[in-house]
Amino acid sequence: MTVSGISERWHLQPSEQRWLLIIGDLLMGLIALFLSLYFWAAGDAWMNFSIEFLRSRPDFWYYLLPLLWIILIIELYDLKKANNLIETLKGIGLGTSIYIILYLVFYFTSEPNSLPRLGVAVFIISVALLTLAWRMIYIRLFRTASLQRRVLIVGAGKAGSTLVDVLDQQDPPPFNLIGLVDDDPNKIGTKIHQHPILAGGGQLLDLIRSEKISDLVLAISGEMESGMFHAILSAQEAGINLTTMSEMYESLLGRVPIFLLESDWVIRSFVEKIPASNIYRILKRGLDVLGGLVGLAVLVVIYPFVALAILIDSGKPVIFKQERLGRGGNPYALLKFRTMFMGDMVNGEQPMTSKNDPRITRVGRFLRKTHLDEWPQFLNVLHGEMSLVGPRSERREFVQIFQEKIPFYRARMLVKPGITGWAQINQSYAETVEETAVKLEYDLYYIQHRNIFMDIVILIRTIGSSLGFKGR
């Protein structure tokens, strides 16, 4: 049995959308660079815009301005933010502000007349306006393409309901959800929120034709009826895009749906698959050593000032050591600048840190906001106990609690813990078991998809988080 009259629909995958954004932003940066050079040359008393001007006047760093711009707006490669106009305006505004501040710092600390004013000013204004125009075009195109994607969810059980909840939280919606199908006759005709359960497997092909469906999302966790199975195969043969619920969940949220996975998921995902390549391991360790040395150099500079502030505010000690569990559950001593009163910290039953926690000192609150309290952990990185990027390490007593209540929690210890990580930049501190489960979903997504590019992006986004005082 086949489906007639259904044309194959093409749409960009999340990774392809990100590359499109990067290419578009880079193109806007190059246009802004050309404009800045042109106006700089027009105001130059020595020579006009020419090959000779391009060779002799701008320094090498000037041609790197478009790359720096992409780094400054890296938060906008989060597709949820990229597809939202308000978030786009915020991201471009923040990137422009940081660009201006950085230039002013270098301008006033350099020799007089050694840095171009007109060229950089034109570049910053041009790149911000051009990027905003391009991003607005992208958002309009994305929303138009989203409406053209007409999707059915196959399965109205726990997995299907969870996916509907996720989709209802997306703004703008990633596609046009027409409804759900399920073989349970008691569900047909009912709704999950405002989304109807339209039919069973026997009517799937007719529904695809009548509703001009472009995509099916498979959200059946149990056994599938043979009729539904054959209908799905026929739909795929006719050009319908098929996606599993877990793939859709991951692409929308950047997380793994731990409460909907089979018990052998860890084996299939991390043991049977080829582990991270040796090249990645070498590059990651090289990045750790390089970052650790840079962090250590900064630590040497800031230590006297931070130590003095802590001593004046709440006395000794300056550095706080705490046992954490690292890769494979092996314990190590985590180093941090002390941010809490010691009387509350020595208690073995110390609870998780909460918002506006009264145990945090005045200086400690600032250190946490700026993440300066974590700077001594670069020593842990150089020692090999931690990495720059990885899941947040946890105390033994909390690990025991979370292992009992959260599935696959132990899997996060397959890699070294990190100073920062995918979970840390996507979610604030966890205060409850439920919030910790969400952080685990981010951690497992990172372990599955980790690569050196992803590590670099996480590090850059962490810098933005620190500048934005988003710690706690």
Say how far apart CA 263 and CA 269 lie, in whole Å.
Answer: 11
Say how far apart CA 408 and CA 402 lie, in whole Å.
Answer: 10
Say how far apart CA 25 and CA 16 lie, in whole Å.
Answer: 14
Residues of the chain with pLDDT under 70: 1-11, 43-47, 113-114, 266-276, 343-356, 464-472
Say how far apart CA 220 and CA 158 lie, in whole Å.
Answer: 9
pLDDT for position 127: 96
pLDDT for position 433: 86
What domains sit in the chain, N to C, each tagged with a CATH number? 14-146 (no CATH), 149-253 (3.40.50.720), 278-467 (no CATH)
Which of 209, 151, 146, 148 is CA-nearest to residue 180? 151
CA 146 to chain centre: 22
Query: Phi first, then psi: what are they for 300, rounded to 5°?
Result: -60, -35
Say how far apart CA 40 and CA 57 lie, in whole Å.
Answer: 10
At residue 139, what is the residue type? I
Which of 445, 380, 375, 444 is CA-nearest to residue 408? 444
**The total number of residues written for the chain in this structure:** 472
Query: Phi first, then psi: what are they for 417, rounded to 5°?
Result: -70, 160
Which of 225, 46, 51, 32 is CA-nearest to residue 128? 32
pLDDT for position 8: 44
Side-by-side strand order, sheet with 241-244: 191-192, 195-199, 176-181, 150-154, 215-218, 241-244
Residues 6+ apart with CB under 8 A from 184: 156, 200
Which of 327, 339, 333 is CA-nearest to residue 377? 333
